[in-house]
Amino acid sequence: YTREGGRTAMKYVVVTGGVVSGLGKGVTASSIGAVLKACGLRVTTIKIDPYLNTDAGTMSPFEHGEVYVLDDGGEVDLDLGNYERFLDIKLTRDHNITTGKVYQAVIDKERRGDYLGKTVQVVPHITDEIQDWIERVAIKPVDGKEGPPDVCVIELGGTIGDIESMPFIEALGQFSYRVGPGNFCLVHVSLVPVLNVVGEQKTKPTQHSVRGLRGLGLAPDILACRSTEVHSLTLHSFIPL
């Protein structure tokens, strides 16, 4: 761990998803957190939901799934319930970032005159708000102990390429430079389908997904590949990345 100003620098692990939705980003993020906790680290989590709703409270469970209610009354995505159970932590409503919350915070600042008459734009104002929100929430203790956690696992909801997640992708790209490469790790969850006709795994969808991610300014450090069958994926399968 690096020392900055006499304290240990916060580490960030970001989990994104590609190719299709429903690959299990939440379980992957929870599992990564559980492994890190088993190594003796204090872990916190943040879930980013790109929808415009301020929270999940008014969303239909038929469309979005169950709503999870936190101790502070926050109505959030069920993934936060997985985080709490996997890691034995207590999260707050601020650990769930939505597009609606971010835009609401920026508009409130603009109405107060915090931007001193400047033209308020997605870059830099929305992206800066996202980064500031992550840094502010990540240092909150969630395990009943004093002091900030060691690692923050961040799950970005949706799929790479979705238009609503673009501000978050840009913000996370900037954030990786803000915290430094030694403090930022990107895990990309992707699909490796098995075609019934040929009976072998195909890595091309993952290659295109990573290419799109790189084109948006983020390069994955780890690929978590989901497949219906277990095969050994050799290095040459991903050389085009």
Tens of pLDDT, residue by residue over 160-170, are 889 999 999 99
Phi then psi for residue 19, to 5 deg, are: 75, -65
- Between 241 and 45, residue with greater pLDDT: 45
What is the tens place of the pLDDT at every residue in 93-132?
A: 999 999 999 999 999 999 999 999 899 999 999 999 999 9
The domain segmentation of the chain, as residue ranges, is 11-237
Per-residue tokens: 149: 């956690």
CATH second-level architecture of 11-237?
Answer: 3-Layer(aba) Sandwich (3.40)
**Confidence check: pLDDT of 137 > 70:** yes
Give the integer Cα–Cα distance in Å for 215 and 18.
13
Q: Kindly state the average pLDDT of the residues 138-152.
A: 94
Please tell me the predicted confidence (pLDDT) of residue 241: 43
Please tell me the predicted confidence (pLDDT) of residue 61: 84
Q: Residue 193 is which amino acid?
A: P
**Confidence check: pLDDT of 3 > 50:** no
Please tell me the predicted confidence (pLDDT) of residue 214: 93
Question: CB-based contacts of 9: which residues, under 8 Å, 6+ apart?
Answer: 1, 2, 3, 179, 180, 182, 183
Please tell me the predicted confidence (pLDDT) of residue 179: 94
